[in-house]
Amino acid sequence: MVFGRAIAKYMRHGRLTVVDAAGGRHEAGGGDGPEVAVRLRDRALHRRLLTDPELALGEAYMDGTLEIERGTLRDLLDLCAANLRAVEASAPVRLLDAARRLRGLLAGRYRPGRSRRNVAHHYDLKGELFDLFLDRDRQYSCAYFADPADDIETAQRRKKVHIAAKLLLGDGQRVLDIGSGWGGLGLFLCGVADVSVEGVTLSEEQHKVSNERAWRAGLSERARFHLRDYRQLDGGYDRIVSVGMLEHVGRLGYREYYEQVARLLRDDGVALIHCIGKYGEPSEINPWIEKYIFPGGYLPTLSEQMPHIERAGLLVTDVEILRLHYAETLRLWNEGFQRNRARAAAMYDERFCRMWEFYLAACEMAFRHAFTMVFQIQLAKSLDAVPATRDYIGAFERVHAAVPAEARASRAAGG
């Protein structure tokens, strides 16, 4: 059978057993890696899993037409990621990838209205959903694990400290946060130094929550969040930070993005861009992720960034690659989601829960198998805007390493 032969051809790591929709049993692999058994409940999956595996696998799991009989979802996705490069080399998948690249190029530059719709698809979900698995500050980006034993509260605080260190904050500075989320980073920066922060987001829910948080913290005069596209801003900023926003700009928007950063940044200013990127050649985002999780998303390579940075007149003063930090972040998010899965099902439904757990596990494996990483690019206009060595980062982190009492209490209570 074609299906069985194809599994054997592509399964080079781990062991996979597939029971097809007719009851036929196919086994392949045997090398190092997880052992997984699945059952297919739909004959159409035989063809779809061979011709469009990246989209079909997630949809089959969501719909319940693919059942895992041995192992876990994480095991299955670990096995798939380990063998993905062999699948990507197949002729049908290459043709699909070419078609998706062409569609991406024809999609054009992201306009504000389209960007807002894309953002709303994900970030305007019920806020209570994110409380089920994020830290108390709702940091929805890669945490920073200085210690493998760090819990999510500690690691997310370390991330904020790490970013603040690279921004070289000083009293009286004006800070812009592009893609400010629920306001946690901006409010944190206000606590580090006597700075004023302006945040911009395209999510109505995040805009509402961030301003409410600023008001409750007594920081409304120093931290203001706006429902606005970053391209509509003007004025000079001493510091600019952008975390998890560049992924939504799109490949045709990088020139405009960095030109705007350059226009907004003062001559002695510093900017930090934190983004999920990918290793290897530029390519389209995973089709399942694009369809169900982040419509319009695109994961850039470093090679795509540098020409636009240089043409904008910006200097790269530091680049750091965070490799497995996001894998650990996603693992902890998934564990938190599983603990609260019943509450998520009550908010939405079982299909949504299966979609969400597939999203978290699939993204974790993309980081574990070196398909994706996180990069932080520090930018300036002047060579002396940052110190000559990186010692200042560690020095700042040592001063601000303490975890607040409320976070310690949360950990002690198992929160």
Q: Which residues are catalytic?
A: 363
Residue for token digits 């005069």?
221
Helix axes 2-10, 44-51, angle to 10 degrees: 30
Number of H helices, E strands in the chain: 18, 11
Cβ neighbours of residue 242 under 8 Å, at least 6 residues apart?
177, 178, 179, 261, 271, 272, 273, 274, 275
Contact 258, 309 (CB under 8 A): yes
Q: Could you tell me the CA-to-CA distances from 178 to 25, 275, 288 in Å, in that order?
A: 52, 12, 27
Contact 353, 344 (CB under 8 A): yes
CB atoms within 10 A of CB 4: 16
Alpha-helix runs per DSSP H in 89-234? 91-106, 112-123, 127-131, 152-167, 184-192, 204-216
Residue for token digits 């405009």?
256
Q: Please, what is the Cα angle at 362 between 357 and 364, to 5 degrees?
A: 100
